[in-house]
A and B are shown apart, each in its own frame.
Chain A
């Protein structure tokens, strides 16, 4: 069939059929050509007209290179307008890793030009390795113009290297404000994602606040970036400048901090590890909150080196923790005046006396006092710090009532401050103990708590607030940001006589027959009132708390206000392992001296600093040099993320905050109770006569001076 068909068809082929086929087929070809022409025209119309906007945008983004000019960061000012954090113009060099094909060679060349040492170039390489690539890595800042120019000239050989004129953050008082202000640093990958991939964050040289106030006021301080638009070729060569918009500097933030006082207090703490808070009683302004030892925020802001970071991390005095907010200590006897206010509120008369026979029987147990005080009224209980008085009246009014007042006075409370975190601490009461341990409140719990021991934990800030509230009888709220309005505080329901009574008793602690005679201010007309406190750290069987290994020594505490009859300033000093309150109140005395007469204050500080080997900044630098020399290259690298720097410290600290009882055991294990919870419950059940109080009452709570 097929064959015949083909033969048949072959017969039909002729000139005419061929011509017809030609005409048909050329027509087909012509139609196809025309069709394709229409298709091409339509396609072009679609690209050029329907999608014009998209492609015009892409063409512009090809042509125009927008580089952001990082805004100058707003200044952080103290209450008098002096800068605690400012900016310094400098020359800097960054590397953008993803544009650098051979980082090792590039860093080697830069090391040569910029005269970096081995540690620094190793740090840079490590940071390049850890970087997400698009984010600039700082090689060096604070360069001399010559070095800057030398890098600029060699740019064609150094792909990915960005030299620029910029500003770096500068903290004039360095370590004194480290914990208070925090520091700045390049945004990390998480922060970049969080802030909607704000291109400003990956602009070379741009830094954001990383901790404390720098972080809290980030949006105020940031400002508006400037921009420079340039026309570039495909290979990135700049053809011409199109336009430049200047940056707008961030707003300054004015703090309530008194810069010099902050610095003085930090330096006066000296070799000790501790903190000092001073507040204005009338406004709640926090005038100083120094925590030492500290770090130099200038180093952090320039990208801290591995060695320096290792030094800070390995220090047993935790220079990375802000002790004002995150240090928790048993308040010891410093809470006694506040407890007296609670007794007054419960109807106890100041004249009511008890007999201290070197201790007092509560229930069926005898609890020791640190001394035999004989007949004790409220005033003597305060200035002589008699424990028996508090055992008795706390038991009489009930510790629930006392704890309520502790909260009213600021203990166990958080304050509305612009800080990254603050710890509550613990004010123990029956409900708390039931919830925490599922155990009933026992008389010895009242006894322990009545003298600021046991489960009691407070931060130095809380102690300072307590002291301010005690001094004024007002619910003073601390604040860090200065405003013109004068805040109004609720007044506690105390008569002026009652407040005056406690003031007088606290003044007597310092100026009378009290426990802190050496704290007397060197002025005739200004008298400081205060209360000492000592918190034991380990059992007496390990250390007597005054000598021996540093970390076994007692904490020293002191709360104060001045002038005693018309309180203007109040505060607290806590010295970790200071060996008793004797380490704390001389600092409070000098700080308040500086407050009223700076010259006299400096007179007291200078000989001390000579003896210590320089100011806090100088000592930190010396320490770093010594440490770096000793450690050399054997120092582990800096953690990748900036947060890690604080993670370690924070981790312990956070645990501590959630389980204050664990700290209580560690910080003050032996004063009242050395046993585990199981042992305690056993004891309770079997009612054995060995009370926790009676086992370890040989040590005085306070140093009589």
Chain B
């Protein structure tokens, strides 16, 4: 790169970091507006959390491949234990609980499990003899690794996070090279079982959300209210938005949760379609960089890890944006890097840190091209 910029700075993955800063800064502006034109309580803590978790991501990126592989199973087991602890506390306390009170912060183990699961699956497939890939021995342990946390999270109950876990795990298995027909078969089975699961597995409030999603106008003041108001916010923004701090939907409380789940609607109302394209474009750059990192990785562990981390971030983004635009039912999933909330920021920054780690490994041993 150019000689003016010091090497340690120049070699950072700016292709990802720049859109990330854009999202964080843009998020802070939107949170400023969502608080009625004030840094407190959302925007300031948003920036502070980012400033805490960014160094953490850099620390993660310093780990060596061996260290990462070594810690995969212990970390996974610790998080499983924490999930069980949450369940036990909830059971003793006589109510559902999702977090552990660590004194200085409330930790959601299910959030930690998202990158943790990707890590352990990458570790599992990286060390699995290649010959065993098309056999049951590549599936059953992985299924157990995915199934345990998914089951524990479902008990909480937290459908959104369990779906995110299952999605991350499935993507890792997919790119690990398991036979395609297994996925087709699993997809077919899921299609058959989905209605059964819907009627017997979901809570009534969850079923209602799905119905509402299919026909939001059926209940404009009840469950459909969120979707309807979100669409009004986005639609009324038009091309250029109503202007900074001018959003009536968010400022007059028509938009539910304008600082977390529906922050995209808050943004779109004030910044319009152009703001939306900036956000979607920034996510596209980050995720594109994540996939590129995965493809450039020379070893199986790095490839699977990077793909899984990218998929985890993607899941957040895709479900959140589909929800606010009325393409998916209302599930409590925030928008990475913009929504106000510590747990989601932590998870996503762990994913970013892991991706930076793989990118660093790639730099150390550049791809030769002919020899793989």
Contact = CB atoms under 8 A, between A and B. Distances in A.
A59 interface: yes
B321 A59 contact: no
Nearest to B314: A33
Contacts of A62: 229, 232, 248-249, 252, 254
A47 B131 contact: no
Given A44-B234, A59-B232, A23 B239 contact: no
A22 B322 contact: no
A682 B238 CA distance: 89
Interface in A1-40: 6, 9-10, 13-19, 21-23, 25-26, 29-30, 33-34, 36-37, 40
B235 A33 contact: no
Tell me what chain A mostly uses at the interface: helix, strand, loop, or mixed: helix
Interface stretch (A227-235, A244-252, A405-413, A509-517): A227-235
Nearest to A28: B174
Interface string B304-329: 00010001001000100110010100
B303 A44 contact: no
B287 interface: yes
A138 to B, nearest CB: 27
A6 B133 CA distance: 12
A63 B248 CA distance: 7
Contact of B252 (A17, A44, A233): A233
Interface stretch (A49-57, A140-148, A160-168): A49-57
Nearest to A11: B131
Interface stretch (B54-62, B105-113, B288-296, B353-361): B288-296
B130 interface: yes
A417 interface: no
B175 interface: yes
Given A29-B307, A30-B291, A33-B314, A47 B280 contact: no
Q: Interface size bucket, B side?
A: 35 or more
B96 interface: no
B168 interface: no
B232 A26 contact: no
A49 B239 CA distance: 6
A34 B284 contact: yes
A21 B180 CA distance: 10
A566 interface: no
Most B CB contacts (10 A, CB to CB) among A41, A47, A58, A231 go to: A47
B368 interface: no
B295 A48 contact: no
Interface string B263-302: 0000011001100110010011001100100110000100
B177 interface: yes
A281 B225 CA distance: 69
B252 A14 contact: no
B299 to A, nearest CB: 11
A631 interface: no
A404 interface: no
A22 B254 contact: no
A47 B235 contact: yes
A48 B276 contact: yes
B13 interface: no
A13 B235 contact: no
A607 interface: no
A239 B235 CA distance: 23
A10 B174 CA distance: 17
Most chain B Cβ neighbours within 10 Å, of A10, A40, A41, A234? A40
Interface in A405-428: none
A45 interface: yes
Nearest to B134: A10
B135 A10 contact: yes
Interface in A157-182: none
Contact of A49 (B238, B249, B321): B238
B236 interface: yes
B318 A54 contact: no
Contacts of B303: 22, 26
B268 A48 contact: yes
B64 interface: no
A44 B268 CA distance: 9
B174 A44 contact: no
A43 interface: yes
Contact of A55 (B131, B174, B234, B280): B234
Contact of B287 (A14, A33, A63, A239): A33
Contact of A48 (B239, B249, B307, B311): B239
Nearest to B283: A37
B233 interface: yes
Contacts of A44: 234, 268, 273, 276, 280, 325
B224 interface: no
Contacts of A9: 134, 179
A13 B131 contact: yes
B231 interface: yes
Contacts of A234: 252-254
B35 interface: no
B134 A55 contact: no
A26 B248 contact: no
Contacts of A33: 284, 287, 291, 314, 318
6 contacts: A6-B134, A18-B300, A29-B291, A48-B238, A62-B254, A63-B252
Interface of A: 6, 9-10, 13-19, 21-23, 25-26, 29-30, 33-34, 36-37, 40-41, 43-45, 47-49, 51-52, 54-56, 58-60, 62-63, 231-235, 239
Given A13-B134, A44-B273, 14 more contacts: A13-B130, A30-B291, A33-B287, A41-B276, A41-B280, A44-B268, A45-B273, A47-B234, A47-B235, A48-B235, A52-B235, A58-B236, A63-B248, A234-B253
Top 6 A-B pairs ranked by shortest CB distance?
A55-B235, A59-B236, A234-B253, A63-B248, A21-B177, A48-B273
